Structure 1
Amino acid sequence: MTRTTPAVIVFDVNETLSDMSAMKARFVQVGAPAHLASAWFAALLRDGFALAAAGGTAPFSVIGSELLRQVLRDVPLMREPDEAVEHIMAGFGLLKLHSDVPEGVRALTGTGMRLVTLSNGSAEVARSLLAAAGLEGHFDALLSVEEAGAWKPMRAAYDYAAEACGVRPAELLLVAVHPWDIHGAAEAGLATAWLNRGGDTYPSYFTAPDYTVTRLAELATVLADAPDAAGADPSPDTAPDAPDSPAEADPAASADPTEGLVVVTESGTGGYAQQITVGPHRLTADEPRPIGTDTGPSPYDLVLAGLGACTSMTVRMYAERKKWPLAKVTVTLRHTRVHAKDCADCETVVGQIDHIERLLHFEGDLDAEQRQKLAEIADKCPVHRTLHSEIIVHTTVQDAAPARP
C-alpha cells in the first residue's frame, strides 16, 4: 500500500519507549526471582487481550496487581504480599526511557509531525516517563486505552486515537516494538513502524510493518526519504467527503498529465529571456543587465524563491499544529559563491562553493524557545533537504518533429 507522510506519530509506551528491564530488580527486591518479571508481564498482556477479544476491558493496574498475587503466591517473599505487589507496580512510574528514545523523539519532532502516545497502561505512567527525561513537551497528547474501552490490538483502540487527534486512521503512524501491536494497527488502517532493537525476525503470520528501524532516530530519516514526503497534506483535520463521481473515486482517472511539469521556453524576444509554465501559472526568467534584459528574476533568484517559500510554508504548518501565536513569517535569502577555504562548515576544501544566506523573521508573541524551535523546523522543509541531498538530473534529448511536407 502506498503511504503518505503521516500527520501524527503514535507511540506505544511499555517496552517501546520504556526500558522495562528495571522491573526485574523490583522482583528481586521483594525476594522473587528476576525471571518472573517476564512471565508476569506476558500473562498480563494475555489476560488483557482475552478480555478485549471477549468484548470486555479492565485497567492495566488491576490486571497486573491481581496476577502478581498469583505469581508470587508460592514465593518466599521478604515483604508482605500486598506490600510486594505495591512495590512492583510502583516500578512502572520509575522506569527510564530506552537510550535511543530521546534522540529519536527530538528528530521526529523536527519533522513537524505531531507526536502522541497510546498505551494499554495508564497515561500517568507515560507522563512520568517522559517528564523525567524532559520530553513531555514534545507530545501533543498522552492517550490511554482506558478511554477507548478496549485494549490494543482491538480496532476500537486505534479508532479512539484517530478521533482524539482529529484525523483519519490512515493519517496515523504507530511505532511499536510489539508485532501484535503492529498487526492490530495495520488492520485498523494505520501506517506502522516496527522498532526492532534486538534484531528479531518479524512473525510471518502478522501483517508486515510499513517501516522497520533499529533505532528510533532512523525513522525520521526514513520518513524524510519517503517518495511522497514533500507532497503530502501535513495537517488534514477531517476525513474527506465521499466521492461523487468515478473520477473522484479514482484520482488517476482525472489526473492532469501535465501536473508537476515545469516547461521553460525561450520568449522569442531575443537575449536570454525565458517563459516558464507551471500548470496554470506563467512566470518569466532572465539575466540581469548587461548580460540579459532583466525582464524577470534570474535562475538563482527562482531557486532562492523556492527555498524561501518552502521554508515559510513549513514553519507556518508547524506553528499551526502547535497552536503557537505566529503572526507572520518573512524569509530573506541571498546567494553568493565563496572560497571553500573560508567555509568552516563545508566538506569541500578547494575551489568555490555556493553559499545561501537565509534570514528568518517571525512576528508574533513567541517566546525564545518557540523561536528557536521554528528556526530548527525551517531546516526540515523539503526544498532545503533536497538542496542538501544528492541530486540526480537525468537528461534526454527529444527527437525532432518530422518536417512538414
Structure 2
Amino acid sequence: MSTRPHAVAFDVLETLLNLDPLRTRMEEIGQSADLLQPWFMRFQRDSMALTLSGDFGTFESVARQALRTDTQHTATEEDIDHVLAGFGQLPAHPDAEPALRRLSEAGVRIGCLTVGRADNTERFLEQAGLARHVDQVITAEQAGIWKPAPSIYRVAAHQLGVSPATMALVAVHAWDCHGAKRAGCLAGWCARLEGRYGDVFTPADVTGADLGEVAEGLLRLPSA
C-alpha cells in the first residue's frame, strides 16, 4: 500500500520549468522555433543512451551535441551558447509554486532532481520564487548517472535524508515516474504534458491534471 511520503523530489525540466521561451532563442540564431521539442527529445535520448552503455556526459556536452546534430551543423558554438544560456532564465509553470508551497507547509522535505546543471537550476529556483521551498538540489552530474537509472532516485532519497520508500518523485514524464517506482520510490505524475499515462510503465501512486492535484494526492495518502 502506498503511504504518505516524507520527502518529494520534483523533476525540473518541463515539470517545474517552462521551456517554451527557448523557442525565441532558436529563432534568434536563425533556426525554427519548432526545433525545440525534437532537440530536447534528442538530448534526453542521448543522455539515456550514455547511461545504458555505462558512460556519462555532462548536461552541457550532451545538449551541445544534440543541438549541433538537429541544426544539421549550421549552428555555431556561439549560437549554441546563446540557446543554453536561456536555461538559467526560464520561468516556472504556474502550478509549480503553489504545489511546492503546499507540500513544504505540510512538513514534507522538498528536493529538485534534475539532469540540468546545478547553477542553472539554482538560478531558476531563485528567480521563479521557488528556492525558499526547496531543501536540496540533486543533479545527474552529482549522482554520476542519468535518469531513469534506479541509483539516481536512491541518491536523491539519501540526499533528502529519507529512505526510497518514503520519497516520491513528481514529474510530467511517465518514464521518469516508472524509473522511480522501479527504484522503490513513490511517484506522482502530472498530466500537463502527456495527457495520458503510458500503459507500458509502472503506474504512479498519484496522478493529477496539474502539480497542485498531485501534491494534494500525495498528502492524502495514509501515514505509515
TM-score, normalised via structure 1 length: 0.54
Matched residue, 2:168? 173
Does the 8 Å CA contact 1:108/1:219 hold for their aligned counterparts? Answer: no
Question: Runs in 1 of length 4+ with deviation above 3 angstroms?
Answer: none
Q: Relative to structure 1, is the Cα distance of residues 49 and 142 closer, same or farther in structure 2, using a 3 angstrom cutoff?
A: same
- 1:146 equivalenced with 2:138 (yes/no): no
Query: Comparing both structures, which one devotes a greater share of its residues to helix?
Result: 2
Q: In the TM superposition, what are the counterparts of 1:324-403 in structure 2 within 5 Å? A: none
* Cα shift at 1:125: 1.9
Q: In the TM superposition, what are the counterparts of 1:246-257 in structure 2 within 5 Å? A: none
Q: Residue 158 of structure 1: which of 131, 141, 153 is its match?
A: 153
Matched residue, 1:42? 41
Query: Which runs of 5 or more residues in structure 1 are unaligned?
Result: 233-405
Matched residue, 1:32? 31
User: Cα deviation per residue 1:156-202 (whole Å; 9 max; x = unaligned)?
Assistant: 11111122122211111000011110111000000000011146121
* Cα shift at 1:129: 1.2
Q: Relative to structure 1, is the Cα distance of residues 199 and 43 closer, same or farther in structure 2, using a 3 angstrom cutoff?
A: closer
AA at the equivalent of 2:126 = A
Q: Relative to structure 1, is the Cα distance of residues 199 and 155 closer, same or farther in structure 2, using a 3 angstrom cutoff?
A: closer
Matched residue, 2:179? 184
- 1:85 equivalenced with 2:80 (yes/no): yes
* Cα shift at 1:73: 3.4
Matched residue, 2:21? 22
Q: In the TM superposition, what are the counterparts of 1:133-282 in structure 2 within 5 Å? A: 133-198=128-193, 200-226=195-221, 228-229=222-223, 232=224
AA at the equivalent of 1:56 = D
C-alpha distance in 2 between matches for 1:159 and 1:129? 24
Matched residue, 1:107? 102
AA at the equivalent of 1:32 = Q
Does the 8 Å CA contact 2:18/2:90 hold for their aligned counterparts? Answer: yes
Give secondary structure in 1 for the equivalent of 2:169.
Answer: strand
- 1:72 equivalenced with 2:67 (yes/no): no
Does the 8 Å CA contact 1:111/1:220 hold for their aligned counterparts? Answer: no
Q: Residue 120 of structure 1: which of 115, 119, 131 is its match?
A: 115
Matched residue, 1:58? 57
Task: Compare relative contact order (CA 8 Å, sep 6+) and give the higher one, 1 or 2.
Answer: 2
Give secondary structure in 2 for the equivalent of 1:152.
Answer: coil
C-alpha distance in 2 between matches for 1:93 and 1:156? 27
AA at the equivalent of 2:96 = V
* Cα shift at 1:225: 2.6
Report the aligned-residue RMSD: 1.4
Q: Which has the larger radius of gyration?
A: 1
* Cα shift at 1:127: 0.9
Does the 8 Å CA contact 2:8/2:167 hold for their aligned counterparts? Answer: yes
* Cα shift at 1:219: 2.7
Does the 8 Å CA contact 2:102/2:215 hold for their aligned counterparts? Answer: yes
Q: Relative to structure 1, is the Cα distance of residues 223 and 156 closer, same or farther in structure 2, using a 3 angstrom cutoff?
A: closer
* Cα shift at 1:128: 1.1
AA at the equivalent of 2:19 = M
Does the 8 Å CA contact 2:109/2:160 hold for their aligned counterparts? Answer: no
